[in-house]
Structure 1
Amino acid sequence: MNLRTIRNDQTAVSVCPEVGSSICSMRFLLNGKWVDIMRPTPQGAMEAKDPGAFSSFHLMPYSNRIENGILHFRGKTLSLFRNDADGHAIHGVVRDMPWKVRSEDGQQLEVGLDSREQENVNWPWPFSCRMMFRLSGNVFTIRFCIRNEGSEVMPVGFGTHPYFSRKLTGQDDRVLVKLPVKGLYPGNTPIPTGKWIPVPRELDFSEERILREDRLVDNCFRAGEGSVMVQWPGSGVAMTMEADPVFENLILYAPPGKPFFAIEPVTNCNNGFNMAESGVDDTGTICLRPGEEAAGNIRITIRENR
């Protein structure tokens, strides 16, 4: 497995172009020792090329789920392979694909992919995409760009799925989270039942609060203005995550009893393309004409906070 690592004296990020350009590790130098900001990737997951077990994987040309693998768009009904245990199409199509390294140095890595060069692509339209990973001091930036390479309008979405560690050191007994959100997509499953609604108190992270370990959180939110904030007070480390306005939605996934949680900046909400086709507005659906591109940046900043 040929990993590519960008690093400086504060932060190190390893990427695996061969497996969706998924992130294998993100580490921060704390008191002379490297700690895992993102959950570390097991060696077995790398050998199995299983992106779902990596530190982070990337979502293109759509985020999260398309209900029952059936996509309705501009009067057409299109069937996708269902790769979710609940019978949906999930997490886009690029996380399993090998990407090409376009350029790299010690601080920056650029990769690209063209769906026309891949086999059995689970998407009806051709597209190309690029990602750039860059370190500048304690700031890690991911830039996404996707282009419609076909002759018809196509819906697109993109984002990333980082799993963060609940504990950085043995001093951590809790993690604090603050989310810049203004709405919650309703429903008791990952498929929303309608347009976003006001956030109920039990899921309101607009003010910093403890992310409990004993209850499942798996919700899609309509993003608002501001930054995601995470604190590990025991270790004295804080993280902010900023996303460009194109990332209109935010997913929080925190499984009970697990040593990780995910905060995912994404453009479209769960099943957003189908919701938009049914007349629901403000789903984050982007429509690209032939030759058009959509792009956006996500910035993660790590600092000591004592």
Structure 2
Amino acid sequence: MVFSISVNPKQYSTYILSDDTALSRLEVVPERGGIIARWAIQGQEILSLDEERFTHPELSVRGGVPILFPICGNLPDNTYIYQGKSYTLKQHGFARDLPWEVIDQSTSSCASLTLSLSSNDKTLNVYPFEFQLKFTYELEGKFLRIRQQYINKSEKKMPFSFGFHPYFLVKDKTKLAFDIPSSAYQEKSSTEIVPFEGTFDFDADEIDVAFKSLTRSSASMTDHQRGLKLTLNWSDSYSTFVFWTLKGKDYICLEPWSAPRNAIATGENLTELDPGASYEAVIEMNVASI
């Protein structure tokens, strides 16, 4: 296999990871939340991206693979309490909005790019913990791996949750089939647990549901219109799998989360990292022709 990494100085510096043998190509934009903006295999785009919105740095990205940290989902009134003090933290946290730094790259056994994000005055105002994140994107054949390391540089225990919000490109939602490792989900606006029988009502304006009692660490979506099967695998760190889409949009979001929304308040599946400790997790996506 022939791996390469190049940099395209667009509006934002874009790192292009390539596997020339598999004709697989990944675009990573460190300045724009460390995001994977594009992934194409043999000329087929795997991800959806709102390109117009992407050019506006004041707007969150809608597309690609946004990073969720230090929370997943939203908080009531976007606030939480820590040691008696109220903090404001917007939906999905701040990692997806901040510039990341490239700290390593390699083309030996795969195309690999490592990015880092560290706490700063801006993050400390909304999340009073010092931290460093190190994410390594690995492209090999039709596989994409995201290795994560979360490091607590505070002198106190650091609570957080983490996840990803991939936007997968879909042309016809009626031609999709899903294998999700749970028999029930909870809708965002309800506490009711709804039985899941493998299908969704795509006539609804929005579908936003969370699967919790996962029976295995993988899920798949088969797109019969495009002739592709997408499989996600994740480490045991992830307890929640969120499915989200909007009517009339060309994407389906399949989101591995380490904890459900508002975990920083409820403590449900919350990761609490000791001072000086680090925590590692990984997710993998692969695409196969059908």
- Among 11, 33, 56, the residue aligned to 1:20: 33
Which amino acid is the alignment partner of residue 147 of structure 2?
R
Residue of structure 2 equivalent to 1:200: 194
Q: In structure 1, what residue type is equivalent to 2:31?
A: E
Displacement after TM superposition at 1:295 (Å):
1.6
Whole-angstrom CA distance in 2 between matches of 1:226 and 1:116 = 34
Q: Is the 2:147–2:283 Cα contact (8 Å) retained in structure 1?
A: yes
Q: Confirm whether residue 238 of structure 1 aligns to residue 229 of structure 2.
A: yes
Deviates more, 1:215-224 or 1:263-272: 215-224
- The alignment partner of 2:96 has SS state of coil
Task: Return 248-257 or 3-12, whichever deviates more.
Answer: 3-12
TM-score in terms of structure 2 length: 0.85
The alpha-carbon distance between structure 1 residues 177 and 128, as it changes in their structure 2 partners (threshold 3 A), is: same
1:175 lines up with 2:184 in the alignment: no
Moved more, 64-73 or 158-167: 64-73
Give the root-mean-square deviation of aligned CA atoms: 2.3
Give a deviation string over 1:155-183, Cα, whole Å, max 9, x none. 1111111111112xxx8852222211255
Quote the residue 2:144 is aligned against.
140
1:268 aligned residue (249, 259, 284): 259
Q: Which residue of 2 aligns with 1:79?
A: 86
Instruction: Give the partner amino acid of 1:23.
Output: I
Say if 2:69 and 2:161, in contact at 8 Å, map to a contact too: yes
Q: Tell me the TM-score normalized by structure 1.
A: 0.81
- 1:90 and 1:234 map into 2 onto residues whose CA distance is 33
Q: Number of residues paired by the alignment? A: 272
Identity %: 19
Alignment partner of 1:217 is 2:207: yes
SS at match of 1:242: strand
Structure 2 counterpart of 1:294: 279
Q: CA deviation at 1:144?
A: 1.6
Unpaired runs of at least 5, structure 2: 1-11
Give 1:105-120 correspondences, 5 Å limit: 105-106=106-107, 107-116=111-120
**Greater mean deviation of Cα atoms: 243-252 or 221-230:** 221-230
Is the 1:22–1:54 Cα contact (8 Å) retained in structure 2? Answer: no
